[in-house]
Amino acid sequence: MSRRPLIAGNWKMNCLKAEGVALAEGIAAKLRAQAPAADLLVCPPATVVDSVARAVAGSRLAVGGQDCHADKSGAHTGDIAAPMLKDLGASYVIVGHSERRADHGESDAVVRAKATAAHAAGLIAIICIGETEVERDGGRTLEVVGGQFEGSLPNGATPDNTVIAYEPVWAIGTGRTPTTPEVAEVHGAIRALAAKRLGTAGSARLRILYGGSMKPSNAKELLALEDVDGGLIGGASLKVDDFWAIAQSC
């Protein structure tokens, strides 16, 4: 089963409007000149989604949000609803990033509700899961990641509306990565769990991204693993050339 890789940039809380538009336009220009063997996505801060989506309209570069609320509207000051992202031209949204889980106390149940809201709005949810360093050192990686997968995946999930991102928390922004056998073990375990929820054929189509200090120098090795179907990239997604080099590694 061949799955088309997804290379997704998580810009986090970076880029004012002009910077974001320039970055996205730089990637879109590369895409116009050459088509890599992957889908490309950028997830700017919510303040810039509109400008970026307008700047790359008509290109093959997709745009996504970094979070959404579980409700579609209402009294939630400062929050952003999934239909609002859709309205701006987003087609994806990241939910359950470890920084949201840590900074905003998001539980698996909250992440599942957000993914459900994303689906209802017609967005593809990128559901993030991953263990902390203490959990890995304690030999609990598969238990923790499996629990997050089970708890965060909504009933309506399909390989078309959902992407999983395995992101070891200790690898995010640290320059450290698990070994390739360690990544392969977790991705294989996630796919086995997915078979129970989505069926064997559904699991075989599900895209499972790796995230955590992916960069041009290690992307090829990570992306070559059988169950790694792309990357969720933070720091290296803020430079056109680095992001493009990762996309070219597919």
Cα dihedral 148/192/114/14 (nearest 10): 80
Nearest residue (CB) to ligand PEP, 164 versus 198: 164
Token representation of residue 78: 């400062």
Nearest residue (CB) to ligand PEP, 154 versus 212: 212
Do 209 and 232 form a contact (C-beta atoms < 8 A)?
yes
Sole window of 34-42, 60-68, 137-145, 166-174 interacting with ligand PEP (rule: CB under 6 A)? 166-174
Residue 8 falls in which region: left (phi positive, over 0), alpha (psi -120 to 50) or beta: beta
167 binds ligand PEP (CB under 6 A): yes
Do 117 and 159 form a contact (C-beta atoms < 8 A)?
no
Residue selected from 6, 7, 9, 10 as contacting ligand PEP according to rule CB under 6 A: 10
The residue type at 249: S
Catalytic residue among 99, 106, 131, 167: 167
Sole window of 75-83, 85-93, 209-217, 218-226 interacting with ligand PEP (rule: CB under 6 A)? 209-217
Nearest residue (CB) to ligand PEP, 198 versus 246: 246
211 binds ligand PEP (CB under 6 A): yes
234 binds ligand PEP (CB under 6 A): yes
Beta bridge partners of 231: 7, 210
Determine which helix (DSSP H) or strand (DSSP E) holds 82, and give its type and residue range.
helix 82-88
177 binds ligand PEP (CB under 6 A): no
CB of residue 94 to ligand PEP, shortest distance in Å: 8
CA atoms of 228 and 114, how far apart (whole Å): 24
- 97 counts as catalytic: yes
Do 199 and 225 form a contact (C-beta atoms < 8 A)?
no
213 binds ligand PEP (CB under 6 A): yes
* Residue for token pair 């990357």: 231
Determine which helix (DSSP H) or strand (DSSP E) holds 209, and give its type and residue range.
strand 207-211
218 binds ligand PEP (CB under 6 A): no
Catalytic residue among 69, 97, 119, 187: 97
Catalytic residues: 97, 167
The contact set with ligand PEP (CB under 6 A) reads 10, 167, 172-173, 211-214, 232-236
